[in-house]
Amino acid sequence: MSKINRSISTKDTSILIANAGGRCSYNFNNDICNKVLADGRVNLGERAHIIGVNGPRSEFKTNDLELNGYENLIWLCKDHHAIIDHPTNLNVFTVFELHNMKSRHEQRVRTGRLPYFGTETSVQDYASLCTLFLFLDIHALYGNVASFPRIHINFYDVEDMYEAYCMDNPPSLSLFEPLLRDRFDRFINCYFDLANHLRGLPNIKEDQFSGWMEKQFDQVSYQKVVIYLESVESLISIIDQRFPQILQQDVYNAFD
């Protein structure tokens, strides 16, 4: 599970977004983006690496640098993330320049020259969910089970990944908005209920090659599947209303 330690924590994400005032940090000469990326409802920012893990500027990695820590990240909109990482711009957006860009932006936020419209709790909720769904593939939560009585073996990975997330990010998922918290709690309870139930069933056929497992139709399993799928749907629908960017983000991949 060493790959999990390399992902960005909720704490670092929160500090990054809060210090950036929820706005794109890009500023260069007279060109200032300052787009609102976290306005309390919708968050559209990206956590860009100043020194890449394997990507742009990764040749400047040193052993003592925490690549996924706040110090090595800059909060940007999607467009400016692409611009700073574009191969033809790497001689302009050097490690030195990106650190300067970040501190100029944070300085403007601190001194009140750039107002901050987000609420602290919504940024915290966004950071928690954003980090969690780097561990869990939010679309697979539904897809792995939707073909019941065939269930994808990766369904069981959710348990390991959720526990890994909780270990790396104590206290585990602390969501501030009650509705969001209720829907998440319902989802995770339904998940564990179904997983424990399936594990206790005899004669599940596993097809290692395709990754699907099957069993004879069973009424109790069917009811638990329906309840689980409803809980995933209601969670995804509130995330789509609050933080649609989370639905588009890639699951963390250690081999990128």
Residues that bind Zn ion (CB under 5 A): 24, 26, 33, 35, 77, 80
Min dist. Cβ of residue 76 to Zn ion (A):
6
Pick the closer one to Zn ion by CB: 33 or 238: 33
The Cβ-side half-sphere exposure at 11, using a 13 Å CA radius, reads 9
Pick the closer one to Zn ion by CB: 35 or 215: 35
Shortest CA distance to 251 belongs to which of 125, 143, 161? 161
Sign of CA dihedral 103, 109, 110, 113: positive
Pick the closer one to Zn ion by CB: 26 or 184: 26
Q: Where are the alpha helices (DSSP H) in 75-177?
A: 78-85, 95-110, 120-135, 140-146, 157-168
Pick the closer one to Zn ion by CB: 44 or 188: 44
Q: What spatial distance separates the first Cα and last Cα of the chain, rounded to whole Å?
A: 16
Pick the closer one to Zn ion by CB: 48 or 175: 48
Min dist. Cβ of residue 51 to Zn ion (A):
20
Distance CA(6)–CA(16), nearest Å, equals 17
Pick the closer one to Zn ion by CB: 17 or 24: 24
Min dist. Cβ of residue 240 to Zn ion (A):
23
Min dist. Cβ of residue 12 to Zn ion (A):
20
Amino acid letter at 152?
Answer: H
Helices 95-110, 10-19: inter-axial angle, 10-degree rounding = 70
Helix (H) / strand (E) containing 238: helix 219-242
Min dist. Cβ of residue 96 to Zn ion (A):
20
Distance CA(54)–CA(179), nearest Å, equals 38
Helices and strands (H, E) in the chain, number of each type = 8, 7
Min dist. Cβ of residue 140 to Zn ion (A):
30
